[in-house]
Amino acid sequence: MRILLQFPEGLKQKALEYAKKIEAEGNEVVISASPTFGACDLAIDEAKHVKADKLVHFGHAEFHHVDFNVEYIPYEMTVDLSILKESLPQLSKFETIGLMTTVQHMHQLDAIAQFYRSNGKAVVIGKPFGFAKQKGQILGCDIGSASGIDKQVDAFVYFGGGLFHPLGALLQTTKPFLVVEPFTGKIEFIDHYRNEYKRRSTGKVLASLKAKKIGILVSTKNGQYNMNLASILKKQVESQGMSAGILVANTFDFDALNNMLEFDAFVNTACPRLAIDDTDRIRKPLLSANELAEVLRIRKEQSAITNLKSKTESS
Ligand code: SF4
């Protein structure tokens, strides 16, 4: 069988090691070297191009259904849980905590919950919206396991590496948010990011109010492609007298977008995290669909006020 192997960026260093194991089982193996950020980004076109019978996608669980033979091999990382003890003083005033993690640590979630329960906490584990598959699991674009239990908990605990995943959950919740990072040993509340990102969002909206030309980003990645939304947004933009173009790429290159000087602002329909995490890499505002709605709402109000003033002045 010919197999195409696909690894996320953090696991690419192990590509040859896995390839040799699968070759030893009698398969022919090709390795995808394209950037890969999630299971939304299956290398099906490459697999078809190299006439692979199967795509083996490492590091992520299934995200969406595709018409191709795909095997998912999630990457489990078993880490030492003794760090949890150090989080107890920071959680002392909270009775009920909402617990979440990523697919890498899902197999340890029960043990983490049990630890907090045996230390007097009530633990709530929420359900994802659907892209993530397991209770308590979050993705950059599925934080249902956190937002769905916001009203039931006094604080949240995210267990895992990095800030990418907890940041998405933080921005859609309201309670104190503790990150327990088993790799660096860091335990910290990250609540201050809520205001920071809210300010950034307001800044992007204000900076887009006078935009005349808007670029709408559509990714061809199979789990991100949303041409319907892009077409709706284009009509909405044009209904306010602005010009809009739909811009297509697989992975958006920010240098290439920065070269598209005609556009005054961009709107994202691809991975929702682009308009949150990558705004510093692009010179023009990069809005989410909700931020665009806010821009259009304010422009409408402003135009109504201007019309009213001119009517009053002429009467
Ligand atoms: S859409 Fe974005 S956040 Fe969601 S899985 Fe893909 S890369 Fe991750």
Domain-wise residue ranges, the chain: 2-73, 81-190, 202-301
Query: How much of the chain exceeds pLDDT 70, in percent?
Result: 100
| Local confidence band at 182 (pLDDT 50, 70, 90 cut-offs) | very high
Residue nearest to atom 4 of ligand 1 (CA): 141
| Local confidence band at 9 (pLDDT 50, 70, 90 cut-offs) | very high
What's the pLDDT at 74? 87
What's the pLDDT at 259? 97
Whole-number Å distance, alpha carbon 251 to ligand 1 midpoint, is 12
- Start-end of H helices in the chain: 15-24, 44-49, 84-87, 109-118, 144-147, 164-171, 192-207, 227-238, 254-258, 274-277, 289-314
What's the pLDDT at 311? 83
Kindly give the pairing relationship between strand 54-58 and strand 2-6.
Answer: parallel
Angle between helices 289-314 and 227-238 (to 10 degrees): 10
Look at residue 315 and tell me whether its pLDDT is greater than 80: no
Q: Is the CB of 38 under 6 A from ligand 1?
A: yes
Ligand 1 atom, smallest distance to 224 CA: 1
CA–chain centroid gap for 116, Å, is 28
Q: Is the CB of 37 under 6 A from ligand 1?
A: yes
CA–chain centroid gap for 174, Å, is 18
What's the pLDDT at 307? 87
> pLDDT tens for residues 229-245?
999 999 999 999 999 99
Collapse the DSSP code of 71 into the 3-class scheme (helix H, G, I; strand E, B; otherwise coil) and give the result: strand
Nearest Cα to 35, choosing from 51, 12, 56?
12
Residue 251 CA to residue 248 CA, distance in Å, equals 9
What's the pLDDT at 205? 98
| Local confidence band at 218 (pLDDT 50, 70, 90 cut-offs) | very high
> pLDDT tens for residues 105-125?
999 999 999 999 999 999 999
What's the pLDDT at 313? 81
Pocket test for ligand 1, best of 102, 138, 141, 269 (most atoms within 8 A of CB): 141
Nearest Cα to 5, choosing from 64, 40, 50?
50
Residue nearest to atom 3 of ligand 1 (CA): 140
Residue 281 CA to residue 286 CA, distance in Å, equals 10
What's the pLDDT at 312? 84
Claim: this prediction has a pTM higher than 0.85: yes
End-to-end CA distance of the chain: 80
CATH number of 2-73: 3.40.50.11840
What's the pLDDT at 306? 87
Task: Look up residue 159 and give its two tokens.
Answer: 């267990």
User: What is the greatest pairwise CA distance in the chain?
Assistant: 86
**Positive or negative: CA dihedral 232, 217, 32, 167:** negative
pLDDT average, residue stretch 15-21:
96
Q: Which CATH superfamily is domain 81-190 in?
A: Diphthamide synthesis DPH1/DPH2 domain 2 (3.40.50.11850)
Look at residue 314 and tell me whether its pLDDT is greater than 90: no
pLDDT average, residue stretch 209-221:
97
Ligand 1 atom, smallest distance to 37 CA: 7
Mean pLDDT, all residues of the chain: 96
Q: Is the CB of 273 under 6 A from ligand 1?
A: yes
Look at residue 298 and tell me whether its pLDDT is greater than 90: yes
Q: Is the CB of 139 under 6 A from ligand 1?
A: yes
Nearest Cα to 63, choosing from 128, 19, 158, 3?
128
Nearest Cα to 4, choosing from 54, 42, 39?
54
Residue nearest to atom 5 of ligand 1 (CA): 38
Whole-number Å distance, alpha carbon 223 to ligand 1 midpoint, is 8
One-letter amino acid of 160: G
Look at residue 58 and tell me whether its pLDDT is greater than 80: yes
| Local confidence band at 308 (pLDDT 50, 70, 90 cut-offs) | confident
Phi-psi group of 59: left, alpha or beta (phi > 0 → left; psi -120 to 50 → alpha; rest → beta): left
**Domain covering 202-301: architecture:** 3-Layer(aba) Sandwich (3.40)
Ligand 1 atom, smallest distance to 40 CA: 6
The answer to whether domain 2-73 and domain 81-190 are alike in fold is yes
Kindly give the pairing relationship between strand 186-189 and strand 177-181.
Answer: antiparallel
Query: How much of the chain exceeds pLDDT 90, in percent?
Result: 91
Q: Which residues of 188-215 are buried (b: 16+ CB within 10 A; e: fewer)?
A: eebbebbeebeebbeebbeebeebebbb
Look at residue 194 and tell me whether its pLDDT is greater than 80: yes
Residue 124 CA to residue 58 CA, distance in Å, equals 29
Classify residue 315 by burial, with Cβ atoms within 10 Å: 0-12, 13-18, 19+: exposed
Pocket test for ligand 1, best of 42, 60, 131, 271 (most atoms within 8 A of CB): 271
What's the pLDDT at 130? 85
Whole-number Å distance, alpha carbon 9 to ligand 1 midpoint, is 13
> pLDDT tens for residues 231-287?
999 999 999 999 999 999 999 999 999 999 999 999 999 999 999 999 899 999 999
Q: Is the CB of 140 under 6 A from ligand 1?
A: yes
Pocket test for ligand 1, best of 66, 72, 139 (most atoms within 8 A of CB): 139
pLDDT average, residue stretch 46-71:
95
Residue nearest to atom 2 of ligand 1 (CA): 271
Pocket test for ligand 1, best of 37, 66, 137 (most atoms within 8 A of CB): 37
- Residues 6 or more apart in contact with residue 188 via CB below 8 angstroms: 178, 179
